């Protein structure tokens, strides 16, 4: 039986750390962390969070191993609704990154918090 996207996100959520935009903003300020936008380039060009790096989910693992060699460096992921970011976090953990968090709210809430 095929699973729905919400079912897959729920299953993947059990394996990733999800935090609010407010908590992410505080932690990113306190740490030398990366903020990665896993949305598509067109979405990022339309509106982006200051300081975020756009690496679409489809190429994230390949780009990250070249961009960041430290598996302990904190990485914060976001997208439009936390679904793609959740899948991306799961993949980065498989690659070996140890401190990956998903900002688990809608993009509008992230924009509001990171003003």
Encode pLDDT of 54-87 as tens digits: 999 999 999 999 999 999 999 999 999 999 999 9
Task: Give, in words, the CATH class of 27-113.
Answer: alpha beta
Q: Enter the pTM of the model.
A: 0.93
Encode pLDDT of 91-113 as tens digits: 999 999 999 999 999 999 999 99
Residue 58 CB-half CA count within 13 A:
3
Measured in whole angstroms, how far is the alpha carbon of residue 94 from the centre of its chain?
14
pLDDT tier, 6 (very low <50, low <70, confident <90, very high otherwise): confident
Tokens representing 14?
A: 């059990």
Only one residue has tokens 């460096």, namely 73
Question: How far is the CA of 32 from the CAs of 18, 19, 28, 60, 77, in angstroms?
Answer: 19, 17, 7, 19, 14
Distance CA 1, CA 24 (A): 36
Domain extent listing, the chain = 27-113
């Amino acid at each position: 039986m095929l699973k729905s996207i919400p079912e897959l996100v729920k299953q993947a959520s059990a394996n990733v750390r999800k935090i609010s935009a407010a908590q992410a903003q505080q932690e990113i300020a306190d740490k030398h962390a990366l903020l990665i936008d896993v949305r598509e380039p067109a979405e990022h060009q339309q509106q982006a969070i200051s300081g975020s790096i756009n690496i679409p989910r489809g190429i994230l693992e390949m780009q990250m191993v070249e961009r960041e060699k430290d598996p302990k460096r904190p990485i914060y992921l976001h997208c439009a609704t936390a679904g793609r970011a959740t899948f991306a976090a799961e993949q980065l953990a498989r690659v070996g990154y140890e401190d990956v968090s998903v900002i688990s709210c809608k993009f509008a809430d992230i924009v509001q918090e990171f003003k």
